[in-house]
Amino acid sequence: MPLIISNQSTMDLPPENLENITAITLDHYNQRAEDFWEGTRDHDVRQNVDALLQHIMAEPPFKILDFGCGPGRDLKAFADLGHVAVGLEGAWRFVAMARDYTGCEVWHQDFLNLDLPDAYFDGIFANASLFHVPSLELPRVLVELRASLKSGGVLFSSNPRGNDEEGWNRGRYGAYHSLETWRRLLTAAGFVGLGHYYRPSGLPCEQQPWFASIWRVV
């Protein structure tokens, strides 16, 4: 479970504070880009990749948005499977790394200032990314993601488990939602749940700090 240094809610913060939250969090990743890549490049997330792909009902190859693609590990996995994979990332160093590593198109956009095409993607893969969106902005961001999915499109998300704490954690801002709150937010944004599970698999619940969930556009 993450150490929450501050659980200050963003509900009363002015826009400039939200911009600072984004800037500080992205700066954290930019300064540690190489270390982050070395520490995560060998993580096995095939369970998450498969969870998204198996629920898409379109004919392959699928158009996939890797939302918060980082240095490109999962983006490359989708491309190697033959899908049309597009990355989206706010940290400029990750954008450059992902483009170089995957050869895929990678959009440099932060999560609070999205510019997405309408009804374009068959699936969105948000692996360890949406929890960085402050709770004040999350309903809007979820609606924007929904609008970028085709009818029947699928959203996969993986978040660190929490009890609806929110605040700074070692230089990064995060909102640590409970499964119940996450369900309420996604349902309000127009998604229907397809299932969820906890990670890493095969461990007792108290040793599974992540929950993954799959959603379809209503």
CATH code (residue 71): 3.40.50.150
Least reliable range by pLDDT among 17-21, 98-102, 107-111: 17-21
In a domain, 7, yes or no: no
In a domain, 53, yes or no: yes
Least reliable range by pLDDT among 74-88, 152-166, 180-194, 204-218: 204-218
Q: What is the pLDDT of residues 187-213, one digit of tens each?
A: 999 999 999 999 878 888 888 899 999
In a domain, 36, yes or no: yes
In a domain, 194, yes or no: yes
Q: What is the pLDDT of residues 8-35, one digit of tens each?
A: 444 445 556 899 999 999 999 999 999 9
Paired residues of 2 in beta bridges: none
Buried/exposed 107-116: b ≥16 CB within 10 Å, e otherwise: beebbbebeb
Which residue range forms the structural domain that includes residue 53?
A: 15-217
In a domain, 46, yes or no: yes
The DSSP element (H or E) to which 53 belongs, if any, is helix 46-53
Tokens representing 115 are 């510019």
Does the pTM surpass 0.85? The reply is: yes
3-state SS, residue 23:
helix
